[in-house]
Structure 1
Amino acid sequence: MYKFLKNLSCLLCLLAVFGSCRKKAFDEYYGRPANLAPPIYQVLDSRGNFTTLLKLVDLAGYKDILGSAGYWTFFAPNDAAFQKYFAANNTSLAAINQATARKIVTYCLVINAFGTDHIADYQSPAGWVPSLAFKRRTSYYDGFSTGSGPEGDSTLLVTENRNGGGYLFGDNNNKYIPYFFSTFMAQEHLTATDYNYFFPTGTYTGFNVANASVVNKDIVAENGVIHEIDQVIMPLPNIEQKLASGSQYSLFKSILEKYLVTYTKDANYTRQYSTINNGKVKNAYVKIYDPLLTFAPGNENFQKLEDNDGQKDGYTLFAPTNDVLQPYLTNVILKYYGTLDKLPINIIEDLVNVHMFPTMVWPSKFASTTNNAGEPARFDATTNVVDKQFCSNGLFYGVNKVQQGNVFSTVYARAYLDPNYSIMTKLITAASAKILLSSPGLRFTVFMMPDATLRAMGYDYDQANSYFTQTTNGVLTTGLTPLANLTRLLNMCIVSTPNNELNNLSGDGITETNGGEYLRWHNNTVFNAGLTEQKTALTVTGFDDYSNGRVYYLGGNSLFPFPTLTIFNDIAANGTNPTDPYYDFYQYLLNSSVVSGTTPKEIIGISLGAPYTVLVPTQAAMKQAVIDGYLPGTTTGTGAATQFVSFNYKPTSTADISKVATFILYHILTSTIVPDGKKGPNGNPFPTMVKNDRGDAYTVSVFNQPGNLKFSDAFGRMANVTAPNNSSFFPATSNYLGTYCVLHQIDNYLRYNLQ
């Protein structure tokens, strides 16, 4: 037994020796290194100038968190910072309660550790993106609040933490703290002026946190990094909170919250509130903003397209003061609707959205930063901004001017803001013309299309089914046909006028519309091809000017009817009688091989809806064509002494029949050209209807200046367009409007060369 005990004792000693050796090796490899810095709390304590901050850490209940494991960045205000804070706010350490202590501590406590090697870098899913970040998510969040809602002014509320009308339970909507590091400022071309615009009492040093300067950076601790700052920073308000704090913005806020906010009762938040309030039962509601708004003003998370995208961007709101917003509403937005309650919700959305920018609009970048409508911030940072706040989720500017949104200041606004043009407004959107008409860099003339007039013409819009309708002879049509017809009509009412060409309709003129068809005006009346057929015109009764053009109002209960005649019949309308200006040309056409035998007749090769210009030589020019052998007819004499005797409108020989066909088709261009100086100003070639064996079109050269239109043939011979007859519709000379075509009389015939 003794021997056994002796052996056992030796074995235990050996195990103790070997065990001690293994533990020592384990501790040396895995144990806490002797040179490892203490946790944040202990580091602050050891430095001696954070005594006030540490007392607030204790009061806030964060000693264990900062004194043990973790991974934090702490923007730590020193004792001198607190002395300035107490003096500025007439308070003391003893007066600070636990809630205030929590605000101070947690708002300066950033999730994850960031030294200056990465403080300005954006944490993208793909890795660090240098010099792109200026904010970090903090440990502070507002949580529940009370305010106006479904249960009165004491409704328990949670602000949505996502844009687009949504929220995610469990996301506390943590606030971000802004900082301004030199590499970020350089990357974004920002200067101390941008910083001091919001923090006028601060001194830009190249590393600032809100209004504070970092006086000692990169203090390493076991559980993070400390940056010592010289100011106490309270949680910044978000844009929603800043807007609510100023009574001078109450009108803008009331519009936002009355028409663009809804409240959703949420069981999860209701249960959470009960849990943290010792079982107290109270319904909790999520405050949801209209999903079509640019952003939710209380959302701290930015877009959340990437988890950390709030590090590199934020929102901007320009909030107009009551004294400028009210007259703008009265004189512009509500001019035809009268009250906000009658205003369509999309107009209210647009009104608010033009003041919302989906990015940071820095003071030096008003002109180069745009909202979702592509419009710059139309304010002067010096004279128009009466209040500014760097917020936890972006920038807030109180302004003494309303943002002049394009949809409210351009020709588009005339229909958009008047219920009497609701069909026209729907049509502009359906025809993809909204962006065009609301572009401030373009200029237009628009002939207005009242609902009453459109309905008198048989058109309407079915709100319940969201489509246009057309009633003809008691038959209702829906689908694509009404939309196509209305789109054509709309395009005839829109004219691009970069030089205000239609600002004076007292004289005579012709212009191409947005749809490629033409209008003419004469002594403050206007007409298209359809009205030309009816031998009537519409009287202009008034106009209004907008930032990008003019709108005209037309008398009568009509607009521009579609023409029904073929090009053949347009020529016939001016060539049936021997005294008509197109008579000889029409007689050759009537009996030629290029006219179809169907009813109604049309020139063979004409494509429905395609543009054409018909050039009709004068009788003298037609006689010369006979003399020169380009048209069949009777002459006397030879050579230079050849004289015209008569036309042969009905040739029988194959050669003469071909000659007539070629002559006619060479005088028809496959494009509409009028004397407005726009198409072919410098002898540009335009194709005719004559083609060679390969299908290539023979051309005529066009020399087009305003009021002076000329054509040159294959031999360089010039033909001038004669002056139009503006005193009556029939018989016509030049600028005669036909179905997708225009007819001109010319003082020379065009000689083709088919070689």
Structure 2
Amino acid sequence: MASEPTLSTFVSAIDKVPGLKDELNSSGLFTVMAPSNDAFTKYFTAHAKYKKIDDIPVKELTQMVKYHILKWMLFQGNFIKPSSDPTINVDIYKYETRAVASYYDAAAKKGVYYPSKMIQVYTPRFFSYYGVTSQDYTDVYGTGSAVNAQTQMNVMSSSVVQKDIASGNGVIHVIDRVLELVNNIAQELENNAEYEDYNRIMKRRFLSYTYNQAGTRAQGNNGDVNGDGLVDSLFNRTYTTDANLDNENPLSGTKSLSLTGFIPSKTAFKNYYETRLMPNFYGIEDSIPTHTLQLLYKGHLASTMDWPSKIDKGQSVSELGDKITLARSDIKGIKMTSNGILYTLNKVIEPKSFTTVPGPSFFSPQYWYLAEALIRTNLLGLLSSGDAKFTLLAPTNAAFAARGIYWIEKPIAGAPGFFRKPNGLETPVAISELTTLLGNHIIMNTSLSISDMNSPVEKFYPTQNGTFISIVNGKISGTERDSLVSVVNPNVSQSNGFFQGINKIIYYPGTLYEQINGATSDPNAALQTNPQYRKFKELMVASGINVADFANTASTTLPLAPITASTQNRKFTLFVPSNEAITAAQNAGKLPKTGAVTPNTTLTDAIRLQLYNYVSSFFATDTQIFTDGKTTGTFPSRKVLTATPLTYYPLTVSYNGTTLQVTSRAGEVATVDKTQPALYPQNKFAKDGVIHVINNAFTSQF
């Protein structure tokens, strides 16, 4: 380089960096992006502080000069075509320099470790592969920057004006601008007053420090990061909003990764903070939930480098998976950082989870549990979809607590989470249980206003977990028909439906088997559970049906298949004969007597088989029938009629305008009585179907 008169200023800069001249004359291989004298003239003209090389402090000059020196020897052809295979290494555009980037975090009073600084080299292959236009380049790097069509190489904001000057142990490319070390996105947020409030909250809530022993030792006696004359320990900084935010060279596997920050200006963020965040949380910043802030901050980041034309085309997607929609008027400024592009915006980007049905839970302290549970169960993505309508029946924190479910931030053992506390012992609530539970509160493909819910006509709605709920006169019920749920925060309208705050958990039902098997056996017991199923349960037990799918396990001579086979996700309607109907049939000698009060005689395998088939005959298969009469017709039961071809005893369901009727194959007629819900509760929801009580035992099917 010393023989190139147009590089004399850069050569003089190298001479002032201790040991660098000898290093470059060693046996190592280097690529130098050497600014021309004209480049330095432009630099000093634009710089307010430095007007010549001697004005630049040696420490700062060292980093500046080393930022222009790459490891390895790379000619133009190596940059333009990193591999002879066009499918390999098309993503290479970042190259490691000799500059290091230790940094002092003044607020934390910690030195921060970084590997070597990277620079970006742009070639036609880069522009083509990433869909970057020449206008994009000018928009990001400013007026006067342009893609060099002749050398086909740009280095950050500079253009390569002379390429491939070979030397003994390296190659020189002359550039038309001095490269200035740029911050990464995290550093830029920290050092620019425009982002002061945004960054303060982000660091306070989402930043952690990890001691870097190797980095601390490697710096040796040069590790005085804060300039106090002492060698500093170095730390890595990690933001939970994005692990790569403070990473000089993020990678996805072996592929270089760049980010995009869409950061609101000071004014835009202040307005959002004062009008949207603080009023909903008593004016206390510490009361803003972490999950609310995490979604907000992730919604302002993309894990790809999105140049302006990509934004114009509506192709930018946040780390939450939300499409980012911006007009050019929303963009106040653009800056390239060492790990991605940073846009300063005139507005705050709200994530879709705030504007869709889950949104109110993130801005109300009384729905904190629900918001956290939606995130942990991954149901937030479903409810944030703009492609479907939903009604979210949103239980309050008190509703969760009434069911014995609590959030514990610092449990005795393990991570924060949802727990039960039986006898004072903390027992984690499984995510699978939470998922199932919340699914019972999500009405699919329907947006219900409070006026819809106040209808005097009972209606049945499918939920996300495959069961149903009932709504009539503003009251909601699930499997626990005697525990009605009320709306306490009605009609919060969102972009894809309604958020209806409720005062109780709608508990997820058990299976048909669990509902029947849970019936209290003793009619004189003080506490009765599902007493209307007692006699049917007796028949079931007497037949030897005593496992979850109503399978017979009492006799090895009866290899019978399960009746319901819940693992196959099939649905059934079970018409249970009332206690009175079964007792009358037993007294008439048409059914064997069962139970503790009227014990059955010893049953043979043949009688058990009859009972098994008899119980099977009350299951209408692959249908869920409700008392609204919307589903009628003839349905196969689970009792086999003929083996070849395989057919089943039919159940015919009809509706006369007020009452559901069921007819057996022999013509016996039963009604589903809705007039006495305490004695004969109908529409009892189960995981695999629905249960009704009928007034006929259909003894012809025994």
CA distance in 2, matches of 1:282, 1:652: 94
User: Which residue of structure 1 aligns with residue 188 of structure 2?
Assistant: 242
User: Which residue of structure 2 aligns with residue 524 of structure 1?
Assistant: 474
- Confirm whether residue 354 of structure 1 aligns to residue 307 of structure 2: no
User: Which residue of structure 2 aligns with residue 449 of structure 1?
Assistant: 395
Classify 1:64/1:540 alpha carbon distance in 2 versus 1 (closer, same or farther; 3 Å): closer
- 1:351 CA drift (Å): 3.6
User: Which residue of structure 1 aligns with residue 37 of structure 2?
Assistant: 79
Classify 1:350/1:460 alpha carbon distance in 2 versus 1 (closer, same or farther; 3 Å): same
- 1:368 CA drift (Å): 3.8
CA distance in 2, matches of 1:109, 1:708: 86
User: Which residue of structure 2 aligns with residue 148 of structure 1?
Assistant: 107
User: Which residue of structure 2 aligns with residue 498 of structure 1?
Assistant: 445
SS in 2 for 1:213: strand
- 1:390 CA drift (Å): 0.9
SS in 2 for 1:148: coil
Classify 1:617/1:370 alpha carbon distance in 2 versus 1 (closer, same or farther; 3 Å): same
Alignment of 1:10-159 (within 5 A): 41-42=1-2, 45-46=3-4, 48-60=5-17, 62-67=20-25, 69-89=27-47, 92-93=51-52, 96-97=55-56, 99=58, 101-120=61-80, 129-145=88-104, 147-150=106-109, 157-159=110-112
- 1:289 CA drift (Å): 2.8
CA distance in 1, matches of 2:428, 2:184: 48
Deviations 1:638-675 (A, max 9, x none): xxxxxxxxxx986489x999999978745522445257
Residue of structure 2 aligned with 1:364, choices 298, 309, 313: 309
Amino acid at match of 2:121: Y
Amino acid at match of 1:217: K
CA distance in 1, matches of 2:191, 2:429: 54
Amino acid at match of 2:111: V
Amino acid at match of 1:97: I
Amino acid at match of 1:226: I
Alignment of 1:351-430 (within 5 A): 351-366=296-311, 367-376=314-323, 378-380=324-326, 382-425=328-371, 427-428=373-374
Question: TM-score of the superposition, structure 1-length normalised?
Answer: 0.67
Is the Cα–Cα contact under 8 Å of residues 274 and 280 in structure 1 kept in the other structure?
no
CA distance in 1, matches of 2:549, 2:340: 66
CA distance in 2, matches of 1:345, 1:733: 44
Alignment of 1:540-579 (within 5 A): 541-555=489-503, 559-560=506-507
Classify 1:234/1:542 alpha carbon distance in 2 versus 1 (closer, same or farther; 3 Å): same
Amino acid at match of 2:30: W
CA distance in 2, matches of 1:341, 1:284: 32
CA distance in 2, matches of 1:72, 1:141: 16
Unaligned runs of 5+ in 2: 521-532, 552-562, 578-586, 593-605
CA distance in 1, matches of 2:67, 2:200: 30
Residue of structure 2 aligned with 1:233, choices 179, 182, 194: 179
Identity %: 20
Amino acid at match of 1:511: Y
Is the Cα–Cα contact under 8 Å of residues 73 and 114 in structure 1 kept in the other structure?
yes
User: Which residue of structure 2 aligns with residue 314 of structure 1?
Assistant: 258
Q: Which structure: larger Rg?
A: 1
Is the Cα–Cα contact under 8 Å of residues 295 and 358 in structure 1 kept in the other structure?
no
Amino acid at match of 1:300: E
CA distance in 2, matches of 1:355, 1:701: 58
User: Which residue of structure 1 aligns with residue 138 of structure 2?
Assistant: 196
Is the Cα–Cα contact under 8 Å of residues 71 and 112 in structure 1 kept in the other structure?
yes
Classify 1:361/1:159 alpha carbon distance in 2 versus 1 (closer, same or farther; 3 Å): farther
Is the Cα–Cα contact under 8 Å of residues 157 and 177 in structure 2 kept in the other structure?
yes
Is the Cα–Cα contact under 8 Å of residues 199 and 211 in structure 1 kept in the other structure?
yes
Amino acid at match of 1:149: A
Residue of structure 1 aligned with 2:153, choices 199, 207, 212: 207
- 1:413 CA drift (Å): 4.5
SS in 1 for 2:471: strand
Is the Cα–Cα contact under 8 Å of residues 595 and 602 in structure 1 kept in the other structure?
no
- 1:320 CA drift (Å): 1.5
CA-based RMSD:
5.6
Classify 1:181/1:484 alpha carbon distance in 2 versus 1 (closer, same or farther; 3 Å): closer
Classify 1:738/1:293 alpha carbon distance in 2 versus 1 (closer, same or farther; 3 Å): closer
Is the Cα–Cα contact under 8 Å of residues 322 and 351 in structure 2 kept in the other structure?
yes
Classify 1:454/1:398 alpha carbon distance in 2 versus 1 (closer, same or farther; 3 Å): same
Classify 1:461/1:117 alpha carbon distance in 2 versus 1 (closer, same or farther; 3 Å): same
- 1:136 CA drift (Å): 1.2
- 1:284 CA drift (Å): 2.2
User: Which residue of structure 2 aligns with residue 669 of structure 1?
Assistant: 620
Classify 1:127/1:570 alpha carbon distance in 2 versus 1 (closer, same or farther; 3 Å): closer
Question: TM-score of the superposition, structure 2-length normalised?
Answer: 0.71
- 1:250 CA drift (Å): 0.8
Is the Cα–Cα contact under 8 Å of residues 495 and 513 in structure 1 kept in the other structure?
yes
CA distance in 1, matches of 2:219, 2:549: 80
Classify 1:694/1:336 alpha carbon distance in 2 versus 1 (closer, same or farther; 3 Å): farther
SS in 2 for 1:119: helix
Classify 1:275/1:528 alpha carbon distance in 2 versus 1 (closer, same or farther; 3 Å): closer
Classify 1:661/1:131 alpha carbon distance in 2 versus 1 (closer, same or farther; 3 Å): closer
Deviations 1:244-268 (A, max 9, x none): 3432211111112333345678884
